[in-house]
């Protein structure tokens, strides 16, 4: 384990800066095929370029460099939220395969995704009974998977599916299969439009079982990944803050400066919480991180909404309409942060808090 930690540390020292440099030279604003008329086709090319450059090989969570992983996600988010939506899903898939599918070596160069949302009307089902299956078994899938971001871009997807006994499995599906169809009719988004989160329909689609039954939800890395999504939200909020700061340079507007000051406080608080959580994951990677993950997601979601609120009041309508990057961030971020289920997550967090011993709660709040 010590050798693995040392290897992770030595290979990821500057990868976030490499990502930042790559994206500066591959700005979506410079791509003539980007935008509404082209349906965000540039996002897929940019993601493949990141993968080809090896910039998807960010450290997995829980191995001593979780903070560096989150810095990488935040760097991509500062550039484009639709891009980081696909990038985060791709890197999450790689981390999952490393965690629970160690006997299988993923094919390099492919765009991957994790699609775990469930369709109420036509849930994804595995043909056959669970006791007949084991890791790396091949099965047949029927049903629909909703909210499949990048469905037209992804090569291989990890999906959750249920067997006839009610067991939940993680399966790997090749999207280049004539038994898999994509339904675009339900996607009418304005914010996060270019993530192209369509429905995927399986009709006797072949798939490979990944890990044991219920292994996707039961593994420690599930909540590590859930907390990491908040780093994307923080990265986008930080980009909004930087734009507001630059617009105020050389001006003398006390009211706008007050909003900029509030943005600074919010971002600094969010950064401190994310760094603390990353350190907690690395210190005790096998511990159930559900309550901490719910906390950081809710806190960063609130922080991001606050940054948007203050940014709009600081700059007024002009930059919100005429600054392409700001306009996209302010449209995309409110949609992205709704992955946090607001009051539903707060109730789950409170329930977990009340179930803990009072002493542990005090430790969690004390300086």
Q: What is the pLDDT of residues 174-214, one digit of tens each?
A: 999 999 999 999 999 999 999 999 999 999 999 999 999 99
Q: Both tokens of residue 78?
A: 């500062």
> Does 2 score more than 60 pLDDT?
no
Q: Which residue has the tokens 């999952």?
A: 96
Q: Where does residue 319 fall: left (phi above 0), alpha (psi -120 to 50 degrees), or beta otherwise?
A: alpha
pLDDT, mean over the chain: 90
Q: Where residue 358 falls among pLDDT bands split at 50, 70, 90?
A: low
Mean pLDDT on 230-255:
96
Computed from CA positions of residues 272, 236, 192, 19, in that sequence, does the dihedral angle turn out positive or negative?
A: negative
Among 122-131, 196-205, 271-280, 337-346, the minimum mean pLDDT is found in 122-131
Find all residues with CB under 8 Å of 307, minimum gap 6, and list them: 237, 240, 241, 263, 266, 267
Measured distance CA(280)–CA(287) in Å, rounded: 9
Q: At what angle do helices 343-355 and 290-315 cross, to 10 degrees?
A: 140
For residue range 90-101, what is the model confidence (pLDDT) as tens digits?
Answer: 999 999 999 999
Backbone angles phi, psi at 112, to 5 degrees: -115, 165
- Mean pLDDT, rounded, for 23-42: 62
Average pLDDT over residues 103-118: 91
pTM, rounded to two decimals: 0.92
**Tens digit of each residue's pLDDT (9 = 90 or more) over 59-109:** 999 999 999 999 999 999 999 999 999 999 999 999 999 999 988 888 899
Q: Is the pLDDT of residue 268 over 80?
A: yes
The pLDDT score that the predictor gives to residue 23 is 92
Residues 225-264 as b/e (b if ≥16 CB within 10 A, e otherwise) read bbbbbbbbbbbbbbbbbebbeebbeeeeeeebeebbebbe
Confidence of residue 364 (pLDDT cuts 50, 70, 90): confident
Question: Which residue, among 294, 246, 240, 304, has the nearest Cα to 271 in the 3D structure?
Answer: 304
Q: Report the distance separating Cα 191 and Cα 199, nearest Å.
A: 18
- Alpha-carbon gap, residue 207 to 333, rounded angstroms: 33
Q: Which of 300, 306, 310, 149 is nearest to 235 (CA)?
A: 300
Average pLDDT, integer, range 230-247: 98
Does the structure show a pLDDT above 90 at 310? Answer: yes
pLDDT band of residue 29 (cuts 50, 70, 90) is low
Alpha carbons within 13 A on the beta-carbon side of 81: 29
User: Looking at per-residue confidence, does 133 or 117 come out higher?
Assistant: 117
Using CA atoms, how far apart are residues 104 and 138, in angstroms rounded to an integer? 14
Token pair, residue 121, equals: 């009307």
**Selection from 152, 35, 149, 11 nearest residue 88 by Cα:** 149
CA distance 265 to 333: 19
Answer whether 158's CB lies under 8 Å from 96's CB: yes
C-beta separation of 298 from 350 below 8 A: no
- Give the percent of the chain with pLDDT over 90: 77
Question: In percent, how much of the chain has pLDDT > 70?
Answer: 90
Average pLDDT (296-324) is 97
Predicted pLDDT of residue 34 = 53
Nearest CA to 212 among 124, 115, 101? 101
- DSSP secondary structure code for residue 292 in this structure: H
- Average pLDDT score over residue span 109-114: 97
17 has a pLDDT exceeding 70: yes
Average pLDDT over every residue of 21-33? 72
CA dist list (Å): 197 to 35, 38, 222, 228, 316: 16, 16, 21, 20, 31
Does the pLDDT value for residue 24 go beyond 50? yes
Q: H or E stretch including 31?
A: none
CA distance 361 to 365: 6
Contact (CB, 8 A) for 201 and 177: no
């Amino acid at each position: 384990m010590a050798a693995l930690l040392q290897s992770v540390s030595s290979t990821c020292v500057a990868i976030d800066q490499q990502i930042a440099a790559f994206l500066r030279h591959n700005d979506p604003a410079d791509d003539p095929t980007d935008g509404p008329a082209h349906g965000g086709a540039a996002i897929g090319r940019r993601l493949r370029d990141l993968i080809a450059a090896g910039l998807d090989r960010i450290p997995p969570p829980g191995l001593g460099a979780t903070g560096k992983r989150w810095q990488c996600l935040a760097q991509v988010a500062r550039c484009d939220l639709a891009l980081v939506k696909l990038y985060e899903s791709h890197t999450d898939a790689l981390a999952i395969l490393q965690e629970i599918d160690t006997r299988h070596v993923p094919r390099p160069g492919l765009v991957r995704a994790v699609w775990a949302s469930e369709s109420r009307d036509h849930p994804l089902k595995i043909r056959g009974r669970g006791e007949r299956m084991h890791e790396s078994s091949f099965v047949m899938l029927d049903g629909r998977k909703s909210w499949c971001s990048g469905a037209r871009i992804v090569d291989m997807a990890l999906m959750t599916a249920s067997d006839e006994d009610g067991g939940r499995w993680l399966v790997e599906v090749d999207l280049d299969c004539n038994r898999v169809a994509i339904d675009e009719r339900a996607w009418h988004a304005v914010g996060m439009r270019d993530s192209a989160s369509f429905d995927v329909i399986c009709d006797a689609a072949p798939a490979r079982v990944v890990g044991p039954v219920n292994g996707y939800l039961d593994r420690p890395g599930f909540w590590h990944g859930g907390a990491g999504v908040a780093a994307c939200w923080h990265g986008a909020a930080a980009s909004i803050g930087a734009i507001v700061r630059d617009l105020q340079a050389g001006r003398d507007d006390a009211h706008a400066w007050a909003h900029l000051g509030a943005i600074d406080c919010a971002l600094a608080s969010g950064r401190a919480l994310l760094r603390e959580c990353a350190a907690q994951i690395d210190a005790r990677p096998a511990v159930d991180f559900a309550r901490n993950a719910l906390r950081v997601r809710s806190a960063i979601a609130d922080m991001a909404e606050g940054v948007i609120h203050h940014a709009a009041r600081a700059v007024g309508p002009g930059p919100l309409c005429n600054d392409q990057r700001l306009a996209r961030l302010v449209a995309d971020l409110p949609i992205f942060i709704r992955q946090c289920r607001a009051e539903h997550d707060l109730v789950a967090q409170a329930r977990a808090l009340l179930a803990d011993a009072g002493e542990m709660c005090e430790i969690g709040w004390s300086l």
